[in-house]
């Protein structure tokens, strides 16, 4: 037994010395042109598969992956991922194909991964592959990209181009407007419930939100990419553009009973000391009465409002001057409260005067 132990210890020491020599003297050729040994490529790929299998969420836990989500996800993919994986009907450049490992075309990259596995890969990234992690701690907006990826293998080049296209903008428009309008529309009303209406907000609020996204003080991988993809000096002009659009008098059809419960919460009529009145900062009130820096909520998309309230409750929203106040106000909301408040504000006609 002593001989066996000494033999194992000796072999381990020799292995450490050999590894140290490879590192210290540069014996391993790290050149991408040289490529990996077949055994190295096998080890890395197998490790990758097993690591995802071990850590990805359980199958069947993904939310409904709607077309609205996919249309948002394709926009993020086009700006952040297409350069390496190409779009349907497009070829990767030879520079990208010279990477080691080579990023596969997007339909091949999706392969047979489940939505839950794709979410894990996109959120966490992959070391030593050039695949970055999601640029935010938020996990919910990753599902928009997953929704696109679950459709990409059947998507043709024409459909992709239509979904990813920037709209034409008028002469003299701010730099970056076409890129923003691709999601939000030129009038700030995309019609996509996953994308907030911008026509409701003031110039000051929009400018502050854009700067918060750009500086990483407000979490969203999609908006972190978008706000950093346009020149910093364009952000004030973009805020002014969307704030100049008159709010459309659009209010959603909502569950009346749920909205009635939301109204009680918004005006603190429930007498719940853990849930303060929302109306003091968010209205709806006359301009001379309303207080605080909060954004206008009346007429905003119901699903978007609900998701933002969850983020506040879970400590994943911030970036504004009243972030601490809002985090405390939302921390005791349950799912019924959130659904009620979202229904109430979504069912209101937008306020004509923005602050």
Question: What's the pLDDT band for 126 if we cut at 50, 70, 90?
Answer: very high
Q: What is the DSSP letter of 131?
A: B
Q: Do domains 38-163 and 256-346 have the same CATH topology?
A: yes
- Start-to-end CA distance of the chain, whole Å, equals 81
Domain spans of the chain? 38-163, 166-243, 256-346
Reduced to 3 DSSP states, what percent helix, strand and coil does the chain have, rounded to the nearest 5?
A: 55, 0, 45
Q: Do 329 and 313 contact (CB within 8 A), yes or no?
A: no
Q: Is the pLDDT of residue 288 over 60?
A: no
Q: pLDDT tens-digit profile of 129-179?
A: 999 999 999 999 999 999 999 999 999 999 999 999 999 999 999 999 999
| Average pLDDT over all residues of the chain | 91
Q: What is the pLDDT of residue 354?
A: 64
Q: pLDDT tens-digit profile of 219-243?
A: 999 999 999 999 999 999 999 999 9
Distance CA 13, CA 10 (A): 5
Domain 256-346: CATH architecture, name and number where available:
Orthogonal Bundle (1.10)
162: CB partners within 8 A, 6+ apart: none
pTM for this structure? 0.89
Topology annotation, domain 38-163: Cytochrome Bc1 Complex; Chain D, domain 2 (1.10.760)
Is the CATH number 1.25.40.10 carried by domain 166-243? no
Question: What's the pLDDT band for 285 if we cut at 50, 70, 90?
Answer: low
Q: Is the pLDDT of residue 66 over 80?
A: yes
Q: What is the pLDDT of residue 105?
A: 97
Question: What is the rounded radius of gyration, in angstroms, for the C-alpha atoms of the chain?
Answer: 25
Q: What is the pLDDT of residue 355?
A: 60
Q: Do 169 and 178 contact (CB within 8 A), yes or no?
A: yes
149: alpha, beta or left? (left if phi > 0; alpha if psi -120 to 50):
alpha
Tokens of 259: 């909205």
Distances (CA, A) of 320 to 55, 110, 130, 137, 188: 34, 37, 33, 17, 21
134: CB partners within 8 A, 6+ apart: 122, 123, 124, 125, 142, 221
Q: What is the pLDDT of residue 270?
A: 66
């Amino acid at each position: 037994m002593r001989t066996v132990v000494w033999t194992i210890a000796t072999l381990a020491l020799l292995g450490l010395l050999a590894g140290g020599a490879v590192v210290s003297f540069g014996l391993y050729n790290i050149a991408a042109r040289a490529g990996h040994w077949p055994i190295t490529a096998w080890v890395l790929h197998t490790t990758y598969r097993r690591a995802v299998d071990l850590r990805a969420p359980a199958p069947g836990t993904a939310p409904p992956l709607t077309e609205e989500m996919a249309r948002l996800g394709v926009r993020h993919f086009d700006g952040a991922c297409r350069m390496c994986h190409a779009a349907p009907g497009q070829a990767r450049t030879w520079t990208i194909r010279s990477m080691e490992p080579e990023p596969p075309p997007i339909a091949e990259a999706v392969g047979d991964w489940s939505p839950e596995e794709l979410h894990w890969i996109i959120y966490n990234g992959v070391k030593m592959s050039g695949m970055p992690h999601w640029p935010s701690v938020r996990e919910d907006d990753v599902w928009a990209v997953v929704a696109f990826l679950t459709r990409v293998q059947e998507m043709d080049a024409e459909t992709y181009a239509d979904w990813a296209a920037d709209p034409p903008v008028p002469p003299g428009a701010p730099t970056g407007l076409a890129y923003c309008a691709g999601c939000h529309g030129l009038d700030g009303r995309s019609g996509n419930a996953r994308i907030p209406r911008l026509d409701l907000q003031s110039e000051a609020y929009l400018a502050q939100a854009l700067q918060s996204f750009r500086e990483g003080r407000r979490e969203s991988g999609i908006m972190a990419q978008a706000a950093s993809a346009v020149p910093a000096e364009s952000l004030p002009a973009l805020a002014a553009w969307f704030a100049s659009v008159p709010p459309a008098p659009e209010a959603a059809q909502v569950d009346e009973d749920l909205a009635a419960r939301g109204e009680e919460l918004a005006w603190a009529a429930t007498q719940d000391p853990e849930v303060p009145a929302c109306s003091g900062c968010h209205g709806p009130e006359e301009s001379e009465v309303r207080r605080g820096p909060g954004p206008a909520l009346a007429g905003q998309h119901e699903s978007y409002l609900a998701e933002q309230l969850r983020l506040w409750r879970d400590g994943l929203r911030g970036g504004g001057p009243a972030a601490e106040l809002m985090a405390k106000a939302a921390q005791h909301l349950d799912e019924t409260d959130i659904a009620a408040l979202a229904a109430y504000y979504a069912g209101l006609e937008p306020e004509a005067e923005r602050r």
